[in-house]
A and B are shown apart, each in its own frame.
Chain A
Amino acid sequence: MKRFSSLLLITILLGLAVVNFGYAEATRTVTDSLDRQVSLSGNPERVVTTIPSTTEIALDLGLDERLVGVSDLTKYLSYVPKLQAKADKTEKVGKFKLSMEKIAALNPDLIIVDGVAQKDVVSKLEDLDTTVYAVGGKDIDEVSEAILELGYLTGTKDRAQEIVGQMAYKKFQLRGAVRELEEKKTTLYTLSERMYTVGENTLVGQVLELAGLDNVFSDLSGYKPVSTEKIIQRNPELIIATEISGLSVESLKNEVGLKGVKAIKEENILLLSRDEDSMINQRGTKIVDGAINLFERVYDKEVNL
C-alpha cells in the first residue's frame, strides 16, 4: 500500500512536471482583431506597447517588469496616475508616427498595437521579426476578448480573467441602473466645431448606449461630420463635447444655428475632461468605468458596485 502511494506520488509529480514544462514551452496561438494568427512560444520577456490603450492593458495585466517600450502619449493615461508614472519611466517609441528604429533597438518579443488606428503599421512591425498582436474591436466585448487572449499569450491568464470579470460585473450593474431610468436623454456627442459625431458602430457609440444615452445619430456608421440642419431637426436634449477638441460651453452656444436646440437652450452641455474622454475612447480596461462616469454625470445617480 505504501509502495503504491509513493508510486502514485511520483507519477503525479512527474505528470505535473511534464505538464508544467509543457505549459512553459508550448507555443500558444490566438487570433487577433485583424484575423491574424498570433503565436508565441513561452512568456514574452520584452513587450512594447505602441498606444496608450495597449500600455494600459499590459500594465493592468501585471507586465510592468517586462514592458520595455511605450508610446510617447502617456498623458492619455493620466486617469490612473500610477499607470502614467510607470509609463513615463519606460522607453518611448513615438507619438502618432512610430519610430521603427527605436522599436527595433528595444528588441521586443511582443508588440501590442491598436488594430484600428495602427492597422497600417502591423506588417512593417512584423518585418522586425517579432510577434505583433492588434487589439481592436468596436464594442466592449471584443476588447474583453482581446484582454483574455493577451492574458493567455503572456502567461497572465488569471489576472486577465479577473479584469474581464470586473468589467462584466460593472457592465451588468450599469445596465441595471439604466433600466431604472424613466427616460433616456437624446444626446449629440461632438468632436469638433464641424460637428463631427459618432455613429452606432464606434466604441464611443457603444459606450453612449451602455451609459443610457440615446445617440441622435446612431443611424450613422463610423465618425462623420453632420450638418447643423440635421442637429436642429433631431433636437438633442444633451450635447457632450470634449475639452481637448477645443470646444467649450461658450463656443457651442455661439455655434451658428444651434441656439434653438434644446440642449443649448437649457444649457445641457457636458464638457468631458481629457481623462473622462480617454476612458471612453481607448480600447483598454477602463471603458466600463468611463461609461459609468458618463452615466453618473448625466443622470446624477450612482451605480451600485
Chain B
Amino acid sequence: MNRAKPKVTFFVLFVLLAFALLAGVAIGPVRIPFGKSLLILTNELPWLNFSGLPDNFQTIIFELRLPRVLTGLLVGSSLALSGTVMQGIFRNPLATPYILGVASGGSAGAATVVVLGFTSNFALPIGALIGALTAVTVVYRISWSRGSSSSYTLILAGVALSSLFSAVTTALIFIAGPYEQHRVLFWMMGGLWRSSWPLFKILLPIVTLGTGIILAWSRDLNALALGESAAAHLGVRPETVKKTLLGLATTITAVSVAAAGSIGFVGLVIPHIMRMILGPDHRILLPAAALGGGVFLIYTDVMAKTIMQPVEMPVGVITAFFGAPFFLYLLRKKIVGGRMR
C-alpha cells in the first residue's frame, strides 16, 4: 500500500484550511496589511478593543471577506462531498453533484426570476433553489415510479432533464434584454461574490446537518459500492441508503448552487484526488473530500479576487484552470505507478 496515512492527511488538510481561512480574510483586491487584518479580526472579541482602525477596512473584512470565505468553505465542501457520494452510489467516475439536474435546474430557475424582473437580493438564490429542487424531484419521481430504481434510469433521467432545463435557460436568455442576459450569464458562471452574512446563516444549518448525516452513513456507502446485491447481503437496504444519501447530497448541492451558482470542477475532481491519496474507504474519503473541497474553493476564490483586480474573475474558471492540470498530473503518476485504484 502506497497510500497516505489518514492521520497525516487530515493534519495537512486542517493546516491548509487554517491557512486558507487566513488567506481568504487577509488577501483581497484592496491591500490590507496582515497585522491590521488580524487586529480587526481580534477586535471583535469582547475583551479586546483597539481603536483607530480604519472604518472601511473593517467593512471589507467583516462584511465582505469573512462571510465570503466561510461561504466558500461550505460550498466547496458540499460540492466535493456530494461528488464523492454520487460517484460512490453510481459507481461511475464521471458522476458529479450536478448529474441529477441540480445545476441546470438552478440556472433555469435563476433565469426565470431574472426575466420576470425580480431584482431583490434574495430573488436569484430563491429562484435557483426552486429550480434545482424541481429538477431533482422530477428526476426522482420518474426513476422511482415502481418503488425502486436502477442507477442507469436515474442518470439518464438526470441527463435528459438537464438538457430540457438548459434549453429553457437558453430560450430565456434569447428573449431577454441585454441587462437580463448579463445577470443570467453572470449567475451561470458561478462565484462567491454574492456572499453575505444572511446568506451564510441560511446555508450553515442546512449544510452542517446534511454533511453530518452523510458522514454518519459512510459505512453504508461502502457496502453499496460493492454492488447493490452484495450490499443487501451485508444487511444494508440499498434503496434506503440510496434515497437518503442522494436526497441529502442533492439538497446540499442545491443550496450551494443557490448561493454561488454552478461552480464546476470541484465536485468532480476533489473526490478523485482524495481517492487517489487515501483510497476508496468512504469513512475516510468523505470527510477528507469535504475538507479538501472547502480548502480548494477558498484558495481558488482568493486567486479569482486578486488575479485581475480590480476586476473579479469567475471562480469556476480558476477551479478548472488550476484543478485540471493537477488532476492530470496525479492521474499520470498513478497510471505510471500502475495503481489506478
Interface residues of A (CB under 8 A from B): 96, 191-194, 196, 217, 220, 224-230, 232-233, 235, 244-248, 251, 254-257, 259-260
Q: Which of B77-85, B116-124, B283-291, B326-334 contacts A (4 or more CB under 8 A)?
A: B116-124
Does A96 lie within 8 Å of B310, measured CB to CB?
Answer: no
Does A192 lie within 8 Å of B121, measured CB to CB?
Answer: no
Q: Specify which chain A residues have a CB less than 8 angstroms from the CB of B310 in the assembled complex.
A: 217, 220, 224, 226-227, 230
* Residues from 178 to 205 in B contacting A, C-beta threshold 8 Å: 178-180, 182-183, 186, 193-196
Does B60 lie within 8 Å of A229, measured CB to CB?
Answer: yes
Total interface residues in chain B, CB < 8 Å:
32
Task: Name the CB-closest residue of B to A246.
Answer: B119
B289 to chain A, nearest CB (A): 29
Interface residues of B (CB under 8 A from A): 28-30, 55-56, 59-60, 63-65, 67, 114, 117, 119-121, 177-180, 182-183, 186, 193-196, 305, 309-312
Does A246 lie within 8 Å of B117, measured CB to CB?
Answer: yes
Bound Cα distance from A258 to B303, whole angstroms: 22
Does A248 lie within 8 Å of B178, measured CB to CB?
Answer: no
Does A260 lie within 8 Å of B28, measured CB to CB?
Answer: no
Task: Name the CB-closest residue of B to A96.
Answer: B178
Q: Specify which chain B residues have a CB less than 8 angstroms from the CB of A192 in the assembled complex.
A: 179, 182-183, 186
Does B64 lie within 8 Å of A256, measured CB to CB?
Answer: yes
Given contacts A244-B177, A260-B63, 18 further A-B contacts (CB under 8 A): A193-B119, A194-B186, A194-B193, A220-B311, A227-B193, A227-B309, A230-B29, A230-B309, A232-B30, A233-B56, A246-B119, A251-B120, A256-B63, A256-B67, A256-B121, A256-B194, A257-B60, A257-B63
B89 to chain A, nearest CB (A): 36
Does B186 lie within 8 Å of A228, measured CB to CB?
Answer: no
B207 to chain A, nearest CB (A): 20
Given contacts A229-B29, A230-B30, A246-B117, contact A257 B64 (CB under 8 A): yes
Q: Specify which chain A residues have a CB less than 8 angstroms from the CB of B29 in the assembled complex.
A: 227, 229-230
Does A257 lie within 8 Å of B59, measured CB to CB?
Answer: yes
B203 to chain A, nearest CB (A): 14
Bound Cα distance from A278 to B147, whole angstroms: 58
Bound Cα distance from A228 to B59, whole angstroms: 10
Does B28 lie within 8 Å of A229, measured CB to CB?
Answer: yes
Task: Name the CB-closest residue of A to B314.
Answer: A225
Contact among A196, A217, A232, A260 with B182 in the assembled complex (CB-CB below 8 Å):
A196
Contact among A193, A220, A228 with B64 in the assembled complex (CB-CB below 8 Å):
A228
Does B59 lie within 8 Å of A246, measured CB to CB?
Answer: no
Task: Name the CB-closest residue of A to B56.
Answer: A232
Q: Specify which chain B residues have a CB less than 8 angstroms from the CB of A196 in the assembled complex.
A: 182
Task: Name the CB-closest residue of A to B64.
Answer: A257
Name 9 interchain pairs, CB-CB below 8 A, sorted by A. A192-B186, A220-B311, A226-B310, A230-B309, A232-B59, A233-B56, A246-B117, A254-B120, A259-B63
Q: Specify which chain A residues have a CB less than 8 angstroms from the CB of B55 in the assembled complex.
A: 260
Bound Cα distance from A217 to B182, whole angstroms: 20
Question: What 3 A-B pairs have minimum CB-CB distances, sorted nearest first?
Answer: A230-B310, A246-B119, A256-B196
Bound Cα distance from A73 to B273, whole angstroms: 51
Q: Specify which chain B residues have a CB less than 8 angstroms from the CB of A244 in the assembled complex.
A: 177, 179
Task: Name the CB-closest residue of B to A73.
Answer: B177
Does A233 lie within 8 Å of B30, measured CB to CB?
Answer: yes
Does B179 lie within 8 Å of A227, measured CB to CB?
Answer: no
Q: Specify which chain B residues have a CB less than 8 angstroms from the CB of A224 in the assembled complex.
A: 310-311
Bound Cα distance from A192 to B183, whole angstroms: 7
Q: Specify which chain B residues have a CB less than 8 angstroms from the CB of A254 in the assembled complex.
A: 120-121
Bound Cα distance from A27 to B309, whole angstroms: 50
Task: Name the CB-closest residue of B to A256.
Answer: B196
Contact among B28, B63, B182, B183 with A227 in the assembled complex (CB-CB below 8 Å):
B28
Q: Specify which chain A residues have a CB less than 8 angstroms from the CB of B117 in the assembled complex.
A: 246
Given contacts A220-B310, A251-B119, A254-B121, contact A229 B179 (CB under 8 A): no
B306 to chain A, nearest CB (A): 9
